[in-house]
Structure 1
Amino acid sequence: MIYIDPPLWPAHNTLFSHLVSDTSLAELHSFAADASIAVRAFDLDHYDVPAGRYRDLVARGAVEVDGGTLVRLLIGSGLRIKARERSASLVHPLLARWEALLPGRRELGAELLNRWGEPHRRYHDRRHLLAVLEAAELLCGGRPPRTVLLAAWFHDAVYRGAADDEEQSARLAEDLLAEANLPAQEIRETSRLVRLTAGHDPAPGDLAGQVLCDADLSVLGREPEAYRRYLADVRSEHRHLDDAAFADGRGRVVRGLLALEPLFRTSAARHRWAEQARRNLLSELAPGISADEGAGGEKALEF
C-alpha cells in the first residue's frame, strides 16, 4: 500500500509531503513512475513531493495518514532507513573517529564535516565518508595507514560536481594539514592519495593508493536495492541536468569504470565486490551498447 502524509514540510518556497510504501521499494518506485514523479525526488526510503501534487496522488490511490502514522508504517515494513544511513545522524560518530585520528584537532574535523554536510550533496555526503573509512579499515584488517584515512576525509571535501574537485580537495588538504602542523611528508602523501581518486588508477605496488581507490569504489559492489539507492542519490546530485544529459554523462562514467582492468586492485576488494560491481555497472548500460563504447574522454560527472 502507498501512503502519504499532509504537506507540512517546508523547502524551496513550498511545502512537501512524504510518499512511502509499507510493502516494497519496488511498489513505491512503480507508483512514483506512473505518477511522473522524478527519481531525484527519492530520498532513501520515501519520495518528497510538493503540496501541488498532494490531491492528485491521493486520487491515484495514496492513502492519507498523519506524519506519525506514516513513520510507524515505514518502520513496521522494515523499509525505514537506519540512522547511520542518514547524513545528519553521523556528525558525532565521525567526529569521534576524527579525534582518534588527529587528537587535538577537533575544529579541523568539524570544518570537514560541515563540508561533507553541504545541502547540495546527496551521495557525496557523510554517509559516503563513513563508507570509505570503513571499507579502508576492512581492506587493511582494521589498521590503515594514517595518510589513507586522512585522504579519505579530504578526497571529496571539495565537491561541486566539477572536473577539478579532486585537485581542489588535494590543495585543501595541503593547506589545512599544514596549518595543523603535520609533517610535510605526511601532507604530501595525503594530497597524492586524494588526487588518485580522480581516476582510480593507482600504480602497481602502490598499496596505499590501491586501498583508498578500492574503498572509494566499494559502493559499486552493493546489493541491487542498495545500488539503486546509490544511483538515485547520484541522480539527485545532478538534478540540474535533464534526463538525456544525465544519461549521457552517466554512461561515460560507467563505461570508464568498466574499462578499468582490474576495477579493484587489492585482492580483498576483488573477492568482496568485483563480481557484484560488474553486474551492477552492466545493468546500467542500455541493451546493445558495448561496455567499451565511449569509454574514456573527459569526465562528465561524478560517479
Structure 2
Amino acid sequence: MTSPPDGNGLFPATTHDNVADGIGFAAWARVWEALGVRDASRETYEELLRHYGEPHRAYHNLQHLKECLQVRRYVNAACQASAEVDLALWFHDAIYDPLRSDNELRSAQWLDDVARDSGLDDETRRRLYDLVMVTRHDGAPATADEAVLVDTDLAILGASFERFEEYDQQIRREYQFVPLPVYRQKRRQVLEGFLARGRIYTTAAYFDAFEQQARANLARAIERLD
C-alpha cells in the first residue's frame, strides 16, 4: 500500500470535479460494464447524483460517495466481486432521510429494480441487495465483499483528525431537529458502540489503514460529549 496522496491523514484528496473524483458517468458505466451491462442508464446515474445532492444532506452526500469510492481504490482490499461492491457503494445511501429508519431498505430496493431492468441475474441481484443492507451496521458482515463494503463505509472514522471533526459536525447538522441533550446522549451511544468493538474494521487492509486513527478520533469525540 502506498502512502496517502493528500499527506493529511488517510483519505485521498477530494476535488470538486466529478470526473476527477471518479464519480463521472464514465466511472459509473465502467462498473456496469464489468457486470456485463454495456448500456448503463444515464437517467439513473443523474437521478442518483440528484439524490446525493439533496439539501438536507450534510454528510450522506456526494462528498461521502466520492470518499467511499476513492478509499476503495486506495485501500484495494481483496474481494470476490469488486464491481458488485462498487455498484453497491454507488447506491448505499441513495435514499437518505434522517427522519426514517428504512433508508437502506429503500436504497437496496432501488438498486434491485435497476439491476433487474438492466438484466442482471437473480443471484447477482441478491448479493447487491445484501451489500446495501449490510450498511445498516446492525450485524456482522456475512461475506468478504460485505466486509469490504462495511469497512469502506466506516473509513470516515479513521480519517484525519480535521476530516473527522468536519464529519462529526455534518452529522449534527443532519440531526439538527433533535434537541442537543438528546442528540449528545444518542451520539455518545453510537460512538461508544464502535469503540467497544474488538476491532472496528473486519478486513486486514482496512484495519491496518484506519483502526488506530479511528480509535483516537472516537475517544476524542466521546470525551467532548461528556
Higher strand share: 1
* 8 Å contact from structure 1 (residues 84, 90) kept in 2: no
Q: Quick one: structure 1 residues 200 and 273, their matched pair in 2 at CA, closer, same or farther if it must change by over 3 Å?
A: farther
Residue 45 of structure 2 is matched in structure 1 by: 109
* 8 Å contact from structure 1 (residues 91, 113) kept in 2: no
Q: Does residue 132 in structure 1 map to residue 68 in structure 2?
A: yes
In the TM superposition, 1:134-283 aligns within 5 A as 134-140=70-76, 145-161=82-98, 162-199=100-137, 201-203=139-141, 206-283=143-220
Q: Quick one: structure 1 residues 287 and 245, their matched pair in 2 at CA, closer, same or farther if it must change by over 3 Å?
A: closer
Amino acid at match of 1:164: D
SS in 1 for 2:136: coil
TM (norm. structure 1) is 0.62
Which fold has the larger relative contact order, with Cα–Cα distance below 8 Å and residues 6 or more apart in sequence?
2
Partners of 2:216 and 2:106 in 1: how far apart? 32
Q: CA RMSD in A?
A: 2.4
Partners of 2:69 and 2:130 in 1: how far apart? 17
* 8 Å contact from structure 1 (residues 133, 149) kept in 2: yes
Larger Rg computed on CA atoms? 1
Q: CA deviation at 1:208?
A: 0.3
Number of residue pairs matched? 204
TM (norm. structure 2) is 0.81
**Structure 1 segments unaligned to the other structure (5+ residues):** 1-82, 290-303
SS in 2 for 1:285: helix
**Runs of 4+, deviation exceeding 4 Å:** 141-144
Amino acid at match of 1:116: Y
SS in 2 for 1:90: coil
**Structure 2 segments unaligned to the other structure (5+ residues):** 1-12, 33-37
Q: CA deviation at 1:287?
A: 7.5
Partners of 1:259 and 1:140 in 2: how far apart? 26
Q: Deviations over 1:246-292 (max 9, x none)?
A: 21221121022123332100111111100010011111224797xxx
Amino acid at match of 1:90: N
* 8 Å contact from structure 2 (residues 91, 111) kept in 1: yes
